[in-house]
Each structure stands twice: as C-alpha cells, then as structure tokens.
Amino acid sequence: MLDLIIPYSAEHVTSQWLTGALASTGVIRGATVTSFDSERLGEGQGFVGQITRLRLTYGTGEDGVPHSLIAKFPATDPSVRAVVNEFGVYEREVRFYAEVAPQVELSTPRCFYGATDREAGDHVLLLEDLAPARVGDNVAGCSDEDAKLAIREIAKFHAAFWESHRLAALDWIPTFDDTAEIMQERYKRYWDPFLAKVGDMLPPYFLEIAQRFGDNVAGIMRQLGSRPRTVTHGDYRLDNMIFGTPESGRPLTVIDWQLPMIGPGVADVAYFVAFCIDPERRRATEIGLLRGYHSALLEYGVTGYEFDGCLLDYRRSLLYHLTRAVNGGAVLDFSNERGLLLVEAILQRTDSALVDHNVMELMPG
C-alpha cells in the first residue's frame, strides 16, 4: 500500500501521491493521475499558507472524478509556518472538514482528502475547485445584497450549534474564555512587530485604543466567552467567500476554516461588517444587517437572546478583533500591492467602526 507521507508543500506533490490520496477516500476507483499542472492562488489576500490549483490528467477515463482541485499547504516561510503551527490553525481546518462540515447546511467546499501531522508541522487539504464562481474581494467590498446573504448564511450556521450539546465533542476548537490569557500574551508579544510593519499606516485613534487594549484583551474575551456560545468561523470576510451563479444552486460557499472558535456568533458579523464594508456604506446598513442577523437566529430556533445583548456583544467583538489585526499584521506578508491595499482598507474601516461605536468605554480597565 502506498505510504501517504504528507508533502511539505505544493512543490513536493507527485502524480503518484495524488492517486494514492484520492483513492484512499474513494474519490477515484480505478483511475490514476498521470500528470498535473499547478497554479498558485491567493497572494496578497491574507492567507497563512500555500493555496494551489491543480489540474489533473488521468490515464484512464472514470466518471465523476475531479479534473481540477484546490490544494492547501502550510506556509513555506519557516518562521510563519512555526508561528501558525503554534496556533494549531492548519490542524483545525483539517478537522473542521472531517468533523463539522458534514453536520451543517452552510455550503463549504467538498473535501477530497485531508491529513495532518502536528508534530512534524505538515498538513494538507485537497478541496473542491468552485471556479468559475465569483470570489469575494475584501478590498473592493460588496453589494448590499451580497452582505445580506453573507449575514443570513452565517446566522444559519451559528443557529445549528447555538448552546448545543454537540459543542462538547468539539474540544479541539478553542473557546474565548479558555484562551483569554493566551491571546493577551500573544497580543503584547506581537505589538512591536506589528508597529514596525504598519505603524506609519495607523490612524491616531486606532493606535490609541489598540495600545490600551493590550491590558484588556483577556477581560473582553472573558466577557464574550460568558455569552451564548456557538461555533464561529473566525475569519469571516469577503476573501473567504465564493458567490455562486444561478445555475450552481449554491449562492454562497465559505472557505478557509483555519480559525474556528467557540464563542459569540455575532463576532463573525462584527468582523465581516467592520473589515469588509467601507465606512459610509457601513453606517447606512450596519444596524439593518445586525437586526437581520438577529432575526435570522430567531427564525432558525434560537431563543433567549435579545437584540440589545446582541448589539453589546457586537461592540465588544469590534474590540476583540484588534487581536486579529495586530497578530495577523505582525506575522503575515503583505508586501505585494494587493496585500498593502488589504491592510490599508482593514485599518481604515476598523478605525471608523471603533470610533463610531465608542468602544473605549467598554474596556474593563
């Protein structure tokens, strides 16, 4: 039997390995991959790994086999790879597709193969290629219709796990309260590297509140962790959304499940609204989107969660997402043109949301 050692990167993939991986999960039966072409994707989009499209050629015909798929590997930069492995995010994504995706209605790519070796730091996913569907663009933003769709779909996902007994079986997904102190330590550790990379791009209020937040990360996370809990995506933004065509029957597919957490679902809403929508449009649509989210939760069976509590959780989540801006900004490479545009957009949009919601008053100390 073929020993399916996890390739270190896309450059280490062979036709023989692809044949073995796809055969081991029943995706192919008698076919063999004889060759493939590769195309690097996702540069400048804030991803913490290699994303490669593989176009496969088979030696014999077989119905239903994938002729194109998406391969995900850890970052090849050893320093980034080590940091991200410390967070356990690659392992989490592999387990998400194996254990969570089959339980929910939210559309995710079909997983053809997944494997993880945390000790070695090697991980791989072979996923469905959804081209030619439209990939969201965090820099360009989205229409009001796309925003409403994104909010409604994530509400359906959150409702499925809302205070559910199934959360106990997902003990590999970190919780807000259990990771509060760890996240505060990491935030402080990455603050100086973050400033060194993007300090000259920071609006004054963002800088002021982000500095003060360093001593309040754990407090805010514990407050959020005490609220009704569900599974959150953790990186719910347009670059991780694929919008389908009328013919596809899948209006929205959500990708990049490396950062799920157990905590308040509205944290995903705050992340999407603050990071993806320009300030003027956000101010005009924000409360409507939040009310739409809350209404969808009720429609899908959530009880005992009032809108005022949802709004407070939303405001606290805006603060919490400073951890994503600081930690991600310190670690990820945004040196290309698209990466710089992404950072500028996120910083400016987040700054305006922090100001508009007067989040300074929410910090415990």
Q: Domains (ranges, CATH) in the chain? A: 10-128 (3.30.200.20), 134-362 (3.90.1200.10)
pLDDT tens column, 217-232: 999 999 999 999 999 9
pLDDT tens digits, 38-63: 999 876 554 568 899 999 999 987 88
- The one-letter code for the residue type at 224 is L
Q: How confident is the model at residue 1 (pLDDT cuts 50, 70, 90)?
A: very low
Between CA 72 and CA 94 the distance in angstroms is 10
Q: Per residue in 334-360, pLDDT tens?
A: 778 888 899 999 999 999 999 999 999
CB 283 within 8 A of CB 194: no
Tokens of 203: 């609006």
What pLDDT is stored for residue 32 in this prediction? 95
* DSSP codes of every residue in 154-180: HHHHHHHHTT-GGGGG-TTS-BTTTTH
Cβ-defined contacts of 99-106 (< 8 Å, 24+): 99/169, 99/170, 100/170, 100/231, 100/257, 100/260, 101/257, 103/160, 103/166, 104/157, 104/160, 105/156, 105/157, 105/160, 106/153, 106/154, 106/156, 106/157, 106/160, 106/254
* Residue 308 dihedral angles phi and psi, to the nearest 5°: -60, -40
Residue position matching structure tokens 């959500």:
254
Give pLDDT tens digits for 175-225.
999 999 999 999 999 999 999 999 999 999 999 999 999 999 999 999 999
Q: Which range (3-12, 72-81, 284-293) has the least confidence? A: 72-81
Cis upstream peptide for 251 (omega within 30°): no
Alpha-carbon gap, residue 11 to 121, rounded angstroms: 16
- Mean pLDDT over 232-257 rounds to 91
